[in-house]
Chains A and B, each alone.
Chain A
Amino acid sequence: MSTAVRSKPAAGSANSGGAPARRAVVRWAWRMFRREWRQQLTVLGLLTVAVAAAVAGMAFAADAPSSPDASFGTAGHMLVITGSKARLAEGISAASKAFGRIEVIYHAKAAIPGSVNSVDVRSERPGGEFSAPMLRLDVGHYPGPGQVAVTSGVAAIYQLRVGGVWRTGGGTLQVTGIVENPANLDDQFALIAPGQIRDVGQATVLFDATAQQLRGFRVSAGAQLTSRPQHDSGFPPAAVLVLDTIALSFVGLIAVATFTVLAQRRLRAFGMLAAVGATDRNIRLVLLANGAVVGCVAAVTGAAAGLAGWAALVPRLEALVAHRIDTFSLPWWEIGAAIALAVATAVGAAWWPAWAASRVPVVAALSGRPPSPKQGRAFAALGAVLLAVGLGAIAMAHQGRVPPLIIVGLVLTATGVLLVGPLAISGVAAQAGHAPVSIRLALRDLSRYRARSGAALAAISLVTGIVAAIAVSAAAAAQNEGSPGAVGWTNLPANQLMIYLSPDGPQGTPEVVPARTAEQLAQYQRDVTGLSAVLHGQAVLPLDAAIAAGMPVLQEGPVNGRPTTMLGKTQAGGGGGRQPVLAISQLYVATSAVLRFYHLDPAAISPATYILTARSGLTGAKILDFGAVVVGCKAAVSAQCGRPGVHPSRQAGGNGPDRRDLASPAIQVAGLPHYTSAPNTLLTSHAMAALNLRPLLAGWLIQTPAALTAAQVTRADHWAAANGLTVETTTGSPQASLASVSEKAIAVGVLAVLTVLAMTIGLIRSETANDVRVLSATGASGCTRRLLTGATAAALALLGGLLGIAAAYLGIIAWNRGVHSLASVPATKLAVLIVGIPLAALAAGWLLAGREPHGIDRHPLD
């Protein structure tokens, strides 16, 4: 009996069977996935969560940051002109002549009854050439002559409704709709039809222009020219993709362990496949197809979950970030990359088990015997090479400026650790000869089943490596934070508080100090002293800014005051007084009180020094008196060039402000604070005299013995609001944040490692259930069996911790291209990783294992 087949096999299928063979194998893989998907639930779940988090995270990263559209619309530049109608007309005419196509939005103010504030009344054409993204109609219709549309905030202030009437400025307007600035929901205004505005006080001119046009444009008095920011702030989707890669590397290593177990369970089936003529490639395809199915299912499910979650989050997020979000305006390329990465992770994770399964001799496979472990030195060597290449890629990523290299580096590093792991396991097992029987067996079993224990080890190493990297980086950052002259990450220390006379506070550079009488200033001084007492302050330090002698009181918006000197850089473009200026730092006067506060010896200050500073990189900085700029846009009434980094003793200079001194004022680095808002740049008395400047009280610094509490900050805020002053406190300590992140990372890492151990130790021990039965039969107690499991878990955790920490240090060295960040060792946190976790694993293994096995698991084919 033999059934002859008349059809010929497909062409080109001489050895491999071609497409029909692949179809048959993939069909079987799909059927097996449908039957055994529960066994792969961990990998499915982890991949799904990773994809969902990546999709939602990328959407958030792309859409949450505010957009320059809020002010610029689609325009590249904005000219704000303030003043009389004639001045507005002159400025608009000049802009039109210089730039061609422009769009003008006129502004007037409407008083709010009982309040000093006002509402912006805006004459803007709906669907304007540049302003279209800045205006949206929510309800009703856009206003015509005698009509107005208002934002919901304005409607609430004046208790208006669509169809109602708004009486303002002696006139009456019918409310026709509710509008908003979709790019800035905090922008509250009333919209009237173009040409209908009265009492115009300001005009916004939007336009596009070339650099040459800008250079040739003369900004008129009372106007301010601003260019659209070139770089959006925030966390870019590419960075989310990098984080996703790290997460997927971890999931991939767990998937390797899972697929290895799956391959072992299907070993007899693979043997049968080979017996009926399947090639090695066919056998590999079974597991690769399984991996692809797992990846696709997880990717689709995760993407759907992520998008659904994002869509559900958008309404709440809009209120939070104060701008409208187009739900499906997403970084689709990055999302596609995340999905592809998930599929690639699953397929990649299946590759090694697939390759190993295809190399098992047919007879051994048919009997279900796993291949005997080999030393695997070649793999370890390959792992070392991959590790080196991965670290090299991280080093070449220039601290995150080349995201693809980070991804490549992370993947190669994780793969390298995966390949090096088994050799480390066998090395430890080789030293187990004199250990108690449970520990000896545990270590040798890890070595015997190193395919899956190696994957688990790599996953643990990856987690501990990431946690160790965070801990070491946090320690280095903390040390850097405390070092003199380091660039500050934050505005103020947590125990200091700044009080500004200027209503703009730290936002105004230069500060415009309001004109106050001597009596008012004396009263302020008393109030500040009182506040300091309430806050248990240690010191109250008055801070003087410097103004040019004879600087008149000027009107700048709501402030009636004097602009102070600052340190800045004039940028290329324009000429003479029209150069745009980049603010560097507010300048304060180095009074004797300030010098005493910072323990600076006046005798140590070079007589020729103009500026004392804690800052570096001040090449090209100038002392700028911006009074005219602030008021009339005439830049640099007086400007002197600085030459930082040169010791005062090498500066040529005499006693008087001769031309040479004016061109090269000496800058002396001093032990001043490095916080951005603290008085970190001071004008010496020599500079004050030489530049004919005079001091002007600008504010106070209060120092408390401990970090200010939220209640104290709130109290200070209320006090300042009541007194017409501005208070600034720390916006957050990066040191504290890093310490917090580091501690949270440790907690998450411990949980992740214990989870990996829980998932893999059971698998490893289940393969040796027969050994445990033999142990029991020969009289081993429950204690021995418990120790066997506990020691297996503890050994993996210890090895993973050591490998992970080593990889973390190598990664940090590669990232920083040096060892300078390793000076501070977070000993306690590292001890948690290499001692705490193994002990926890030992305890968990001891408590949760030890039952006598009932029999040997066997999975017959049918």
Chain B
Amino acid sequence: MTALELRNVSKVYGDRAAEVHALREVSLTVEPGALVAVMGPSGSGKSTMLTIAGSLEEATGGEVFVAGRSLATLSRNERARLRRRSIGFVFQDFNLLAGLTAAENVALPLELDGLQARAARKAALRALDELGLGSRAARFPEELSGGERQRVAIARAVVGERRLLLADEPSGALDSVNAEAVMRLVRTACRGEVAGVVATHDAQLASWADRVVFLRDGRMVDQTSPLPGPESLLTPSDRK
């Protein structure tokens, strides 16, 4: 079963004269354990593709399958449940909830899914430990650095039994060192049953992916495996 499948997905914003074609019949398949990078200039439709794949908005045409389930057949609440259980999002600007500690932010999807707070917190602490943030679990977002916030966001995106990790410019607001660290974590997260799609316009970061697809004006114009460059020396051993 594929983790994510887009079949001729289109997305049009606005009406008539104000129509904007954000996506035009884009098809993409992501297998479990794979990490796909989506590259393209601003306005090419990268973020739109991710939000449609993550059920945050609906496609105008085509079909989207997540873990084998068609999003078109799901109600609003069922899509919400899918996001809680199967899809993890990482955003450029972290999107952590002020007012909740790092551990509570990570535990949030589990609690929203009905898990008791104590069990959710345990799972959250485990996820934070794996990302080296165990000591920062009780801190509020404003008490964390940018890199730490994005790691917390990644922990929130992978906690539980997620099947699909979607990251929209996850390193866009970070310096190069933190950006590399974040991509390393995303890469590490995509193993076994978990697949990932990362939107970026940074070729160096895209090189962490198994496959790179290129979008321009809403169309998929090309896809390829990244060329091994100098950064391949930094490739984690488990990629090989």
* Bound pair (A, B): yes
- A interface list, Cβ under 8 A from B: 1-5, 7-10, 13-21, 23-25, 27-28, 31-32, 34-35, 268-269, 271-280, 282, 361-363, 366, 860-862
Enumerate chain A residues within 8 angstroms of B114, measured Cβ to Cβ. 9-10, 13, 17-21
For the complex, give the distance between the alpha carbons of A28 and B155 in Å: 19
Determine how close the nearest CB of chain A comes to the CB of B57; give it in whole angstroms: 5
Question: Which residue of A has the minimal Cβ distance to B152?
Answer: A862
B185 in the interface (beta carbon within 8 A): yes
Enumerate chain A residues within 8 angstroms of B188, measured Cβ to Cβ. 1
Q: What is the interface size of chain B, counting residues whose CB is below 8 A from a CB of the partner?
A: 59
Question: Quick check: A277 and B189 within 8 Å, CB to CB?
Answer: no
Query: Interface segment, B2-10, B76-84, B215-223?
Result: B76-84
Question: Quick check: A3 and B130 within 8 Å, CB to CB?
Answer: yes
B127 in the interface (beta carbon within 8 A): yes
- B interface list, Cβ under 8 A from A: 51, 54, 56-57, 76-78, 80-85, 89, 91, 93-100, 104, 107-117, 119-120, 123, 126-127, 130-131, 141-142, 149, 155-156, 158-162, 185, 188-189, 191-194
Question: Which residue of A has the minimal Cβ distance to B76?
Answer: A280
**Additional A-B contacts beyond A271-B95, A276-B109, A282-B112 (4; CB < 8 A):** A1-B130, A15-B78, A272-B96, A275-B54
Enumerate chain B residues within 8 angstroms of A4, measured Cβ to Cβ. 160-161
Enumerate chain A residues within 8 angstroms of B149, measured Cβ to Cβ. 862
Question: Quick check: A277 and B112 within 8 Å, CB to CB?
Answer: yes
For the complex, give the distance between the alpha carbons of A21 and B84 in Å: 11
Determine how close the nearest CB of chain A comes to the CB of B144; give it in whole angstroms: 8
Question: Quick check: A277 and B109 within 8 Å, CB to CB?
Answer: yes
What are 22 sample pairs from A and B whose C-beta atoms fall under 8 A apart?
A: A2-B158, A3-B126, A5-B110, A5-B160, A20-B115, A34-B99, A272-B91, A272-B95, A274-B56, A275-B56, A275-B83, A276-B108, A276-B109, A276-B112, A277-B113, A278-B112, A362-B56, A363-B51, A363-B56, A861-B141, A862-B93, A862-B95
Question: Quick check: A862 and B126 within 8 Å, CB to CB?
Answer: no
For the complex, give the distance between the alpha carbons of A361 and B112 in Å: 19
Enumerate chain B residues within 8 angstroms of A10, measured Cβ to Cβ. 114-116
Enumerate chain B residues within 8 angstroms of A28, measured Cβ to Cβ. 97, 99-100
Determine how close the nearest CB of chain A comes to the CB of B129; give it in whole angstroms: 9
By CB atoms of chain A within 10 A, which of B85, B93, B108 has the most? B108
By CB atoms of chain B within 10 A, which of A2, A7, A18, A280 has the most? A2
Enumerate chain A residues within 8 angstroms of B78, measured Cβ to Cβ. 15
Enumerate chain A residues within 8 angstroms of B117, measured Cβ to Cβ. 20, 23-24
For the complex, give the distance between the alpha carbons of A838 and B141 in Å: 45
Determine how close the nearest CB of chain A comes to the CB of B106; give it in whole angstroms: 9
Question: Which residue of B has the minimal Cβ distance to A861?
Answer: B95
Given contacts A1-B189, A268-B95, contact A9 B109 (CB under 8 A): no
Enumerate chain B residues within 8 angstroms of A275, measured Cβ to Cβ. 54, 56, 83, 89, 91, 95
Question: Quick check: B99 and A5 within 8 Å, CB to CB?
Answer: no
Determine how close the nearest CB of chain A comes to the CB of B196; give it in whole angstroms: 11
- Which of B91, B93, B97, B115 lies in contact with A5, CB distance below 8 A? B115
- Which of B97, B104, B116 lies in contact with A7, CB distance below 8 A? B116
Given contacts A1-B158, A275-B54, A279-B77, contact A862 B98 (CB under 8 A): yes
Question: Quick check: B56 and A1 within 8 Å, CB to CB?
Answer: no
Question: Quick check: B97 and A273 within 8 Å, CB to CB?
Answer: yes
Question: Quick check: A17 and B94 within 8 Å, CB to CB?
Answer: no
For the complex, give the distance between the alpha carbons of A24 and B162 in Å: 20
Question: Which residue of A has the minimal Cβ distance to B156?
Answer: A276
Determine how close the nearest CB of chain A comes to the CB of B124; give it in whole angstroms: 8
For the complex, give the distance between the alpha carbons of A738 and B134 in Å: 71
By CB atoms of chain A within 10 A, which of B100, B112, B131, B160 has the most? B112
For the complex, give the distance between the alpha carbons of A268 and B91 in Å: 12
Enumerate chain B residues within 8 angstroms of A17, measured Cβ to Cβ. 84, 111-114
Question: Quick check: A269 and B97 within 8 Å, CB to CB?
Answer: yes
Question: Which residue of B has the minimal Cβ distance to A282?
Answer: B112
Determine how close the nearest CB of chain B comes to the CB of A372; give it in whole angstroms: 11
Question: Quick check: A366 and B111 within 8 Å, CB to CB?
Answer: no
Question: Quick check: B94 and A861 within 8 Å, CB to CB?
Answer: yes
By CB atoms of chain A within 10 A, which of B98, B160, B189 has the most? B98
Enumerate chain B residues within 8 angstroms of A7, measured Cβ to Cβ. 115-116, 119
For the complex, give the distance between the alpha carbons of A269 and B108 in Å: 13
Question: Quick check: B85 and A277 within 8 Å, CB to CB?
Answer: yes
Enumerate chain A residues within 8 angstroms of B104, measured Cβ to Cβ. 24, 27
- Which of A27, A32, A35, A274 lies in contact with B80, CB distance below 8 A? A274
Given contacts A269-B98, A361-B57, contact A5 B123 (CB under 8 A): yes
Enumerate chain A residues within 8 angstroms of B194, measured Cβ to Cβ. 1-2
- Which of B83, B111, B131, B192 lies in contact with A24, CB distance below 8 A? B111
- Which of A15, A20, A35, A862 lies in contact with B120, CB distance below 8 A? A20
Question: Which residue of B has the minimal Cβ distance to A860?
Answer: B93
Enumerate chain B residues within 8 angstroms of A277, measured Cβ to Cβ. 80-85, 109, 112-113
By CB atoms of chain A within 10 A, which of B114, B192, B194 has the most? B114
Question: Quick check: A21 and B158 within 8 Å, CB to CB?
Answer: no
Question: Which residue of A has the minimal Cβ distance to B56?
Answer: A362
Question: Which residue of A has the minimal Cβ distance to B89?
Answer: A275
Question: Which residue of B has the minimal Cβ distance to A4?
Answer: B161
Question: Which residue of A has the minimal Cβ distance to B193?
Answer: A2
Determine how close the nearest CB of chain B comes to the CB of A163; give it in whole angstroms: 69
For the complex, give the distance between the alpha carbons of A277 and B84 in Å: 4
Question: Quick check: B51 and A3 within 8 Å, CB to CB?
Answer: no
Question: Quick check: A862 and B113 within 8 Å, CB to CB?
Answer: no
Question: Quick check: B97 and A272 within 8 Å, CB to CB?
Answer: yes
Determine how close the nearest CB of chain A comes to the CB of B33; give it in whole angstroms: 11
Enumerate chain A residues within 8 angstroms of B82, measured Cβ to Cβ. 277
For the complex, give the distance between the alpha carbons of A505 and B77 in Å: 79
Question: Quick check: A15 and B81 within 8 Å, CB to CB?
Answer: yes
By CB atoms of chain B within 10 A, which of A7, A18, A280, A361 has the most? A7
For the complex, give the distance between the alpha carbons of A16 and B113 in Å: 7
Determine how close the nearest CB of chain A comes to the CB of B161; give it in whole angstroms: 6
3 interchain residue pairs of minimum CB distance: A277-B84, A13-B114, A9-B114
